[in-house]
Amino acid sequence: MKVSETVYSRLRRRLVSGYYDPGTQLKEEALAADFGVSRTPIRNAIARLTSEGLLTPAEKRGALVTPWRLENTADVFALRILLEGHGAYLCAQNATFEQIDLLEQTCDEMERHFAAKSPDWVKKMDQGNLVIHEMLYEGSGSPHLRLSGKHLLEVPQVIGGFFIYEDADVEESLMQHREIVKAIKLRNGDWARSAVACHLNAALERFRRRSSEE
């Protein structure tokens, strides 16, 4: 992958996961030093992300992280509860043994990273979280649901909350993941759908709490 594409992908991932607070100014020089690249790929990435609405042009070089309104997030979570819940229901019926094994292994890895608190543990948790939520669509066996779900998971602030979670929040989220996976493994679609709704409603409440504190 070219340097410019790698920088774009990494920066975009940070933006959609909530790594930066809304309104944060991102400067080319600081980003170039952080990513270990020249300013050119940073400038190109900022231009692309600005066109996508994830960044807003700043007066000087760089950009501002576009604020994401609470009502927008609530709408997206409402859609996720419906679609991801249905995905989990279908996943309980259609997921292969290999897909279920991947879900369990990902839960194991996330719990190990959280317990160890290695320097990149938050990044590892974020990656594992995305794997689990993508698998709910992938394992459903529905191409249309998978396509719709992928789009929702790319909306800012709705995935990757581990950047803002307190330890108690992480522990709760991990337990909820375990319940979802257990329901799928037992082929109990209603339980899986209910567990997803509980998990996503809890995530939305954390986002609301954070928004009220800002």
User: Does the pLDDT at position 214 exceed 60?
Assistant: no
* DSSP-derived 3-state class of residue 186: coil
User: Which CATH number does the domain housing residue 110 bear?
Assistant: 1.20.120.530
Amino acid letter, 185? K
43 and 144: one domain? no
Q: What's this model's pTM, rounded to 2 decimal places?
A: 0.75
For the chain, helix (H) and strand (E) counts, in that order, are: 9, 3
* Residue 4 bridge partners (DSSP): none
16 and 110: one domain? no
75 and 45: one domain? no
Residue range(s) defining the domain that contains residue 197: 70-213
94 and 187: one domain? yes
49 and 151: one domain? no
115 and 182: one domain? yes
User: Does the pLDDT at position 190 exceed 60?
Assistant: yes
Listed in sequence order, the residues at least 6 apart from 78 whose beta carbon sits closer than 8 Å to its beta carbon are none
Average pLDDT of the chain, as a whole number: 89
Q: Mean per-residue pLDDT for 111-122?
A: 90
Give 162's pLDDT tier (boundaries 50, 70, 90). Answer: low
74 and 151: one domain? yes
CB 199 within 8 A of CB 88: no
36 and 22: one domain? yes
59 and 88: one domain? no
46 and 75: one domain? no
User: Does the pLDDT at position 204 exceed 70?
Assistant: yes
77 and 127: one domain? yes
93 and 134: one domain? yes
| Burial (Cβ within 10 Å: 0-12, 13-18, ≥19) of residue 54 | buried
User: Does the pLDDT at position 161 exceed 80?
Assistant: no
Rg for the chain, CA atoms, rounded: 18
- Count: domains in the chain: 2
- Residue-wise pLDDT for 36-77, tens only, equals 999 999 999 999 999 888 898 887 778 998 877 667 788 889
Give 176's pLDDT tier (boundaries 50, 70, 90). Answer: very high
User: Which CATH number does the domain housing residue 39 bear?
Assistant: 1.10.10.10
Look up residue 147 and give its two tokens.
């396509």
Give 157's pLDDT tier (boundaries 50, 70, 90). Answer: low
